[in-house]
Amino acid sequence: MWIEIDAHISQVTGEKFHSSQRLSVSGGCINQGYALTDGKITYFVKLNQASHGEMFAAEMLGLQQMHNTNTIRVPQPLCWGTTANSSYIVLEWLEMADGNSKSWQKMGRNLAAMHKISSNQGFGWNMNNTIGSTPQINTWKSDWIEFYIQHRLSYQFQLAKQKGGKFALQDQLLAAIPKILANYQVQPSLVHGDLWGGNAGFTVDGEPVIFDPATYFGDREVDIAMTELFGGFPPSFYQGYQEIFPLDQGYEKRKTLYNLYHVLNHFNLFGGGYASQANQMIERILQSV
């Protein structure tokens, strides 16, 4: 496998690469990660089963699309592929460090600049991808409400039913979404799609970096809402974002609706108490209608 990956790197870069060391590093919740080096240059390699090749293909496309905006830094992807037993993606290696108030503010500004990148095709993306290891459907829709109901919440509810999840107010919630999002003009924005604290960081020079995307064109608020879901980002991040692209009135009511998608996905991935959390969120959303 490593011989094939070395050969692929050599082919893409045009420089002979022969890895002399492969160090296990964190690759996220669902992948194995390795620092691959020949003593002169290091790459980050993520591995999974061979059947997950399309997941890495989508990740590479998403990273490349975000990289091409020249707004916020991402690990530049080199290549992806499959071997007999594994799939892999090779990325630029970045030395990471903690951020400070100034660097978090810059991350907010840079993300806001990326969110200004739009699409004339509407809401969706050119291929389906994954949120964690869950399929994420990105078929283009001209209407955001239809997209969010059909491709986000309804799909997660269907998966949850197969896993024994019980959401008594599911139908009532889905019926209320057009009212919740009424009089709110949504422009398609290029979003990261899975923007929690574990998918954001800083280089040793303080440059903000986002990674492990679930990219598509959607309401920019889905990214901002998720930054608040698992501990939240520092206040300076939101200050920086608001300087460049102020949030619209009503965000505080919409963010719970958008974060419900991720909590349902966590139930589908991990089970446990996420069903109870999702039901509490559904009740809170309906009480606000």
Q: Just list the catalytic residues.
A: 194
Taking every pair of Cα atoms in the chain, the longest distance, rounded to a whole number of angstroms, is 62
Q: What single letter denotes the amino acid at residue 110?
A: N
Rounded alpha-carbon distances, angstroms, from residue 236 to 66, 105, 166, 264: 22, 5, 39, 29
CB 61 within 8 A of CB 34: no
Bridge partners, 25 (sequence order)? 33
HSE-up of 202 (CA within 13 Å, CB side)? 18
Q: Find tokens 């039901």 and name the residue.
A: 279
- How far, in Å, CA of 78 to CA of 64, rounded? 9
